[in-house]
Amino acid sequence: MAAPREAAARAEALRAEIGKHNYAYYVLDAPTVPDAEYDRLFRELQEIEAAYPALRTADSPTQRVGGRPLPEFAPVRHAVPMLSIRTETDSGPEGARAFDARARRALGLAEGAPSLEYAAELKFDGLAVSLRYEDGVLAQAATRGDGEIGEDVTQNVRTIHCIPLGLKGEPPALLEIRGEVFMRRPDFERYNARQRERGRPALVNPRNGAAGSIRQLDPKIAAERPLSFFAYGVGEARGWAMPASHSAILDALAAFGVPVCEHRAVAQGAEGLIAFHEKMLAQRDALPFDIDGVVYKVNALDLQERLGFATREPRWAVAHKYPAQEELTEVLGIEIQVGRTGKLTPVARLKPVFVGGVTVTNATLHNEDEVRRKDVRIGDTVIVRRAGDVIPEVFAVVKERRTENVENGRQWSLADAVGNECPVCHSAIERLEDEADWRCTAGLYCPAQRKQAILHFASRRALDIEGIGEKLVDQLVDQNLVETVADLYDPTRINAGKLAGLERMGGKSAQNIVDAIAESSKAAQLERLIYALGIRNVGEATAKELARHFGTMTALMAADAETLQLVPDIGPVVAASIIDFFNEKHNQQVVEKLLEHIRLEAVGKMAAGAVLRGLTFVLTGTLPTLAREAAAALIEAAGGKVSGSVSKKTDYVVAGTDAGSKLDKAQALGVRIIDEAGLRELLQAKETER
C-alpha cells in the first residue's frame, strides 16, 4: 500500500528532528529536549513506519540504537552488538503483564503452565559502555555508539575508580562486561557547587554529565568528574563456563569485583514484576542516582536463546519506564512568593503540563541568581522537572525555541518585578552582599511572616508562652485575632471567651493560655525580648550582648551602626540587620506596643554580679548535676559568655563525661579545662575576689 503524502512528509520531518536531537546529545553533549519529548517523537516515527513499511529507510533512527562515534575517537566494532531493548509505553501494572504475556506466547506456554522466572533490575540514567577484560586485565572500553560500532574511551574509563583495572578470582581469558556509567546526585551537586565557586560552567544534569565526561578528548577532564558504574550484563566471553541464568551472571560479575547494583531481584511471573516495579517506584527519589524505570529479562539463558530477537530488539527483555520527570512547557509569567522568614522566591507560572504523575502549573526558580544563570524569561519554552514529592523546578531553557521578542527582552530582575518592595506588605526589601536571597524587612508586620514570627516570639527560649503552638497560631492568624505579636497582649483580641470558641479549645485551656500570656508580661528579660523579635542574624548570644551593652530597648533602637559595632562579636552585617529592622516603621510600632504591656527586668541587677565578665566558656559532655542549659545560665548570670565552639579566644572548657572533639581541640590549643566542680569553684572564687 502506497503511503499518503502527508505520512511521508511527517516521517521525513521526524527523521530530521530526531537526528538533530541525537547529534546534540551524543556528539555535542548538549541535550535540547527532555527524554519524554524524544520518546514521543521516536514512537510516532515507529508507528508511521509500522503502518507504511515502505517509508522505513536504512538511515531511519528506528533502525539503529542512536548516535555515532566522533572522528576524534578510534572506532571499536562490537563482537556482539550492543542493541537497545523495547520500552513498554504503559507505565502502570499492565506494562509488566503485557511483557509476560508476550514471552509466554512466544515460548508456547499453556495458560496453566508455571510462571516464568525473570531477572528484574533498575534502568540507569547514564551512558552505556562495554568493558573488555583480557586475562582479567581491562584492555579496552567502548561506548555503545550505533550498536555495531562504538568509540574507544579506554583512557577516560580508566579514571573511574569503581571500575576495576583487574578482575578478582579466576576470570576467563576474555570477558566483555556491559554496564552504565552514571553520576550520583550528591556527587553531581558537589561538583557543580565547586564549578560555580571557580567561575566555571556547571553540568546540565547527571546523565549529561556522565555522557559528556566519558566522551572528553582530554582524560584529565574526565578524571575531575565524579563518575560511577554498574554492570548489567555481558557480551563476548571465551574460556568461561557461562552461568545458566542472567541473575547468576550478575552474581558472578560481583564476585569478580565489578560493581553490580544491589537493587535487583528474581521475580516470578507478572505479579512478581509488578511488585518490583512498585517497590522501586516508592524508593526512586531516595536513591542516590537517577533511574527512569526498571528492566525485566527472562532469567534462564536457554529460554532467552529460544525467544531470540525481533528487529534488533530482544524478545526476552523489556524496559518498563516510570512517568516522565521532565517535560516541556511555556513560562506564562514569573510571580514572587514571600516565605515565612521573609524570603522572596521567584515562581514560574506555567502552561499546565503533566509531569511526574501530576499536572504542574507552577515551578520554583529558587532565587534571582538562578533565574539569571539559567536566563529564564517570560515566554520561554523550558524543561520542567519534578521528582516524587519534590517541588517542581524549571530545570533549563530550550533557547532554540526562544522567539525574537523574548530574545530582545531584558534579563529578569526581582527588584524591578516587585518595584523594590514586598509584594505582600509593601515594605522595603533587601539583599545582603553575601546572600542569594532578597528578603522583606518588615519582619513582625508582614502578614506572610506573621505565623512564624508569633511561634518564634512564644517559643521557650524567647518569651516562653506555654500553650501557643502551631495549630493555635494558625487559627489566631487565619481568623484575624492576631496580626502582630503585640496583639497577644490585647485583651480585646485575646481573651478566654474568644479562645474557647476555637477548634479543640475548651474553657480551661483558653484560660491557661490567657494566664500564660499574662505571666510572660510580668518580668521578662530584655535579652529574651530582643531575641523574640526575630531580627535577622540576632541569636540568643547576640541578644544577651546587646542587652548587657545598651540596658534598655529604647537605647538599642536608637543605636547607629558605629555604636552597635562596639558590642562584642557584632560586625557590619549584624549591625545592618538590626538597623534595617528598627528603621521599618511597622516594627517600631510593634515594639512600642509590646513595651506598653511587658515589664522588663532591670539589666543592672545582672550586671552587678558580673564576676565572669570578659571570659568565654565552652561546655562539652555531660556534667554530674547540671544540665548544659543550667550551667550556661550560671555562667551568663555571672557575666560570662558561652560559645558553641573552641578557639584561641576560649578561656575555659567545662568538660563532663563523654566529651568529644571540643575537648581534643581545647587540649591541642592549650585552653584551660575544668569540670563542674571547677566551674563552681571558679564562680565562688571570683565572687570572693569581687
Helices (H) then strands (E): counts for the chain = 27, 24
Closest CA to 458 of 515, 533, 540, 522: 533
State yes or no: is 343 an active-site residue. no
Complete DSSP assignment for 245-264:
BHHHHHHHHHHTT----S--
- Residue 151 cell numbers, joined: 568509540
Q: Which amino acid is at 19?
A: G
Which residue in 20, 123, 220, 665 is the catalytic one?
Answer: 123
Distance CA(11)–CA(23), nearest Å, equals 18
Distance CA(466)–CA(599), nearest Å, equals 18
Q: Where are the beta strands (DSSP E) in 356-508?
A: 358-364, 381-385, 393-397, 429-430, 438-440
Distance CA(40)–CA(17), nearest Å, equals 12
Distance CA(320)–CA(122), nearest Å, equals 9
Q: What number of other Cβ atoms are within 10 A of residue 669's Cβ? A: 13
Please answer whether residues 225 and 191 qualify as being in contact, where contact means their C-beta atoms are separated by less than 8 angstroms. yes
Helix/strand/coil for 655? strand
Pairing outcome for strands 86-88 and 317-321: parallel
Q: What angle do CA 650, 652, 653 make, to 5 degrees?
A: 100
> Which helix (H) or strand (E) element contains residue 294?
strand 291-298
Helix/strand/coil for 114? coil
Q: What is the CA radius of gyration of the chain?
A: 33
> Known catalytic residues?
123
